[in-house]
Structure 1
Amino acid sequence: MALIKRLTPNSYQYQPVYKSYHKNSPILRVALVSDLDKASKEGQMWRSVVIVGIIFRQGNSYDFQEQEEFNISLPINENGRGMELSELLSFNGSLYGFDDRTGLVCAIDIEKKKAYPRLILRDGDSFSDKGMKIEWATVYKDSMYVGSIGKEFTTPTGEYLNDNPLYVKQINVDGKVSVLNWKNKFNAIKNAVRIYGEGYMIHEAVAYSVSDNKWYFAPRKCSNERYDDIKDEVRGCPYIISTKDFIHFNIINDPQHDFNKGFSSIKILPHDENKLIYLKSVEVGKRSETYMGMISTTGEVIMKEKLITKMKMEGIEFIPI
């Protein structure tokens, strides 16, 4: 049975979300999902918090206003962890959430406030008993591309364990999953900002622009030093990197960069693909915060970063108005 109904050849640009907006729409509706880590467990269920709100234009800038907040829950878990949703993506007429613990891909109905299991992705090349640590998702042509952190899996002090997070899953409109090895692509992105050797980059925010035929990567963390779990908390990455071919790259320096914050989700505005909205997460010690901001593809601040909540929200997506 097909994963989702086929709508058009271009399953992202011409879906209902885009039909409800026009270029320079003054109001855009968005949904956000949470990754509450161990706090996701609630009785015999695991939950994610959904925040729905509007982004509205104020002169040449934008602001955000929350409209409602609710929980979505499922019993699916792996070793007592589940529904730690790290990304939200609209694809072919449906809205999908992605769990970074179990590898679950679930359909989310905003109006009914429900989540429905669709797929479970496995780690690495898929021959694994461990769920994929999903951190980002975007649409390329007629498929969802779903990725992990984009760096080698290591111990907390940086000793190499495996390449599993370098694999990307391609999910077509019929639900077929293909496995892609992106090791060379992730290395090229890292090298584009002169990070080599034991230096690393962690990805949680990726978007593809149909109109520009360009990939955008907003790494959450990066460093020229070896990975270290504690030091990593304050290694927020200052770049947004774009490319058409993974050979030539354009680097945007983030004018609102703060080492405590890291990109956790990024989306391209409907019909206005020179603007990028994003979430940034803070996880320093016991401190947890989520900020929202907007930047142009040339590096101009369009929305000053705004504290949305002290919950960790790691996915944002546009939904019909």
Structure 2
Amino acid sequence: MKLTLASFVVLFLSFLLMLWRVPVERRRCVCDDDMNYFESYNDTYPLSAPFSSKDGIWYKIGAVSDLDTNSKSKSGKHLWRSYMLHGKLFVSNDHKEVKIVWDKNVIQLNGGYAHGGRAMELSDLKTFNGRLYSIDDRTGILYRIENDSVVLPWVVLPDGDGKQAKGFKGEWLAVKDNHIYVGGLGKEWTTTTGEYMNDDPMWVKIISHYGFVRHVNWKRQYIKLRKAFGITYPGYMIHESAQWSNVHKRWFFLPRRASHKIYTEKTDERSGMISPVILI
């Protein structure tokens, strides 16, 4: 009996030692080698290096389309598409001239994930972690764009506090502190005639390069932006563009529409705005 017990102890200790000595390569996480949980943040920006001419500097830029209901492809039953276009932005040495030259080649981006029969309504492009990302404001899917042609679903963002069945209507992307921020309209969600429903569009999604998501209520920040123009509820301000400046350490917004009056679908069409807003 003593021999049997001793043998068991020896075998058990040998087993533990064997586990401990498993090579590091075999103990690493089981995940995509191109994006694993041990890789550090890639701060490459921009992805394409600017190039200088005698008159100024050229930057490579890109744009994507939001075709709304027209994003449904006629060639495929379960296919939706957006278009991406590359171009070059020129800034003169004296900063007095700016111009954009677009490429002739239009790239079609195809996707098959839809919500309510709609998809690939891409709102913004952003370089993050050395890759290119875009947000679909219909499904709430944050896509990674590979090789300028393939869209890979990376993170699915639920609306509001993250506990909603509906996808988040993401309208803008920004990078701050090695995280990508996905923001919405920044106003209360209402009916087409202005009746209040919820605050879901006033939440922001903060995502690490590992894909971990935090849902943060930004209602206070959005109200602060409105107050800068003397706008109070039921007046509103709609956002589709925001950037964090590492130089100024501030948020910069360029609101799309604003009104001191209650939102209605009809009057909103004539509520354009071009004034920039700085949020400390």
TM-score strictly above 0.5 = yes
Match of 2:50 in 1: 21
> Across the two proteins, how many residue pairs are aligned to each other?
239
Report if aligned partners of 2:107, 2:148 keep a CA contact under 8 Å in 1: no
Report if aligned partners of 1:40, 1:46 keep a CA contact under 8 Å in 2: yes
Paired AA for residue 125 in structure 2:
L
- For residues 107 and 18 of structure 1, the distance between their equivalents in structure 2, rounded to whole angstroms, comes to 14
- For residues 31 and 167 of structure 1, the distance between their equivalents in structure 2, rounded to whole angstroms, comes to 27
Does 2:211 correspond to 1:175?
yes
Paired AA for residue 72 in structure 2:
K
Does 2:113 correspond to 1:76?
yes
Distance apart, 1:113 and its partner CA: 1.5
Task: Provide closer, same or farther for how the CA distance between residues 50 and 132 of structure 1 changes in structure 2, counting only shifts above 3 A.
Answer: same
- For residues 118 and 25 of structure 1, the distance between their equivalents in structure 2, rounded to whole angstroms, comes to 37
Match of 1:151 in 2: 187
Match of 1:187 in 2: 223
Distance apart, 1:4 and its partner CA: 4.5
Q: Provide the alpha-carbon RMSD of the alignment.
A: 2.0
Does 2:254 correspond to 1:225?
no
Distance apart, 1:126 and its partner CA: 1.0
Aligned equivalent of 1:35, options 52, 63, 66: 66
Does 2:270 correspond to 1:234?
yes
Q: Which structure dedicates a bigger proportion of its chain to strand?
A: 1
Cα deviations by residue, 1:134-165 (Å, 9 ceiling, x for unpaired): 10110110111111100000000100011111
- For residues 130 and 100 of structure 1, the distance between their equivalents in structure 2, rounded to whole angstroms, comes to 11
Does 2:136 correspond to 1:107?
no
Does 2:95 correspond to 1:95?
no
Task: Provide closer, same or farther for how the CA distance between residues 47 and 214 of structure 1 changes in structure 2, counting only shifts above 3 A.
Answer: same
- For residues 209 and 7 of structure 1, the distance between their equivalents in structure 2, rounded to whole angstroms, comes to 22
- For residues 218 and 112 of structure 1, the distance between their equivalents in structure 2, rounded to whole angstroms, comes to 27
Distance apart, 1:74 and its partner CA: 1.0
By relative contact order (CA 8 Å, sep 6+), the higher-ranking structure is 1
- For residues 45 and 123 of structure 2, the distance between their equivalents in structure 1, rounded to whole angstroms, comes to 23
- For residues 239 and 35 of structure 2, the distance between their equivalents in structure 1, rounded to whole angstroms, comes to 27
Aligned equivalent of 2:86, options 52, 76, 84: 52
Cα deviations by residue, 1:14-64 (Å, 9 ceiling, x for unpaired): 414167237996111111000001110112211011011111245721111
Taking structure 2 as the reference length, the TM-score comes to 0.80
Report if aligned partners of 1:4, 1:92 keep a CA contact under 8 Å in 2: no
Cα deviations by residue, 1:148-187 (Å, 9 ceiling, x for unpaired): 1000000001000111111111101111000100111110
Report if aligned partners of 1:4, 1:175 keep a CA contact under 8 Å in 2: no
Match of 1:297 in 2: none
Report if aligned partners of 1:7, 1:15 keep a CA contact under 8 Å in 2: no
- For residues 101 and 194 of structure 1, the distance between their equivalents in structure 2, rounded to whole angstroms, comes to 31
Q: Where does structure 2 lack aligned partners over 5 or more consecutive residues?
A: 1-30
Report if aligned partners of 2:45, 2:127 keep a CA contact under 8 Å in 1: no
Distance apart, 1:238 and its partner CA: 3.1
Matches within 5 A, 1:294-309: none
Paired AA for residue 220 in structure 2:
N
Task: Provide closer, same or farther for how the CA distance between residues 150 and 40 of structure 1 changes in structure 2, counting only shifts above 3 A.
Answer: same
Sequence identity, in percent?
35
Q: Which structure dedicates a bigger proportion of its chain to helix?
A: 2
